[in-house]
Amino acid sequence: MTTNKNQSFFKRIIKSLTKANDLGKEAELLTDHDYDGIKELDNVLPPWWLYGFYITIAIGIFYTTKVVYFGAYKQADELNADITESNAQVEIYKNEHPELFKTDVVLLTDAESLTSGKKIFETTCLACHMIDGGGGIGPNLTDDHWILGGGIETIYHTISEGGRPGKGMIAWKATFNPEERQQVASYVISLQGTKPANPKASEGDIVWTKQ
């Protein structure tokens, strides 16, 4: 490869990076290889590619030595660090939005809470449980037989996470906030022992009676 001093600086840089041969010198670069009449030129690898290849080899040697033989970096440590950071972020979010992580689920008995729970029940739950809780597509909520269990915490969990797979009851946690779900669960418990117009036969093997 020859360098023409009359070439611009940019072209000389490109030429030095590629080591491209000048046009018209193909005859000087022909090798003895012949593939069905196709001949091969003896061009060198471009320096930018060659240096990049050398760098990857150097990085590979450095990584293998540092990680495999000396154990300076471990994926398990990185994972644990990420988990710790994620848990910290979760705690920050919980502190900023305590209403979304209500854990003190207790039975509400005041009139205001039960009225709010009844309003939600009669606009959302009546399609499956009937307006008086006697049951339709869904089970009877006025007797003491429960499929997933009775009690404020269990009923609250069922409302939040949904019923049995494939049975139609969806998870309502994305629709109602924790306080509203607690109100509905408390209202459902208030239906225990009432006399619906057309009660559905008892379902479930878990017997729980409101105390």
Of 155, 118, 116, nearest to 133 by C-alpha is 118
Where do the domains of the chain lie, and which CATH numbers do they carry?
111-207 (1.10.760.10)
Q: Which region among 29-38, 84-93, 198-207 has the lowest average model confidence (pLDDT)?
A: 29-38
Average pLDDT over residues 104-126: 93
Per-residue pLDDT at 195: 93
What percent of the chain clears pLDDT 90, i.e. is strictly above it?
A: 45
Per-residue pLDDT at 1: 47
Q: How far apart are CA 180 and CA 175, in angstroms?
A: 9
More confident residue, 29 or 182: 182
Average pLDDT over residues 52-62: 92
Q: Which region among 62-71, 117-126, 200-209 has the lowest average model confidence (pLDDT)?
A: 62-71
pLDDT tens digits, residue range 139-194? 999 999 999 989 998 999 999 999 888 888 999 998 999 899 999 999 999 999 99
Per-residue pLDDT at 70: 76
The pLDDT-based confidence of 18 (bands split at 50, 70, 90) is low
The pLDDT-based confidence of 210 (bands split at 50, 70, 90) is confident
More confident residue, 62 or 32: 62
* Alpha helices per DSSP H over 25-110: 26-29, 47-63, 75-96
Per-residue pLDDT at 102: 62
Q: How far apart are CA 87 and CA 48, in angstroms?
A: 45
Q: How far apart are CA 51 and CA 138, in angstroms?
A: 71
pLDDT tens digits, residue range 74-98? 778 889 999 999 989 988 887 887 7
142-169 burial, b if ≥16 CB within 10 A, otherwise e? bbeebeeebbbebbbbbbbeebeeeeeb
Neighbours of 60 (CB within 10 A): 10
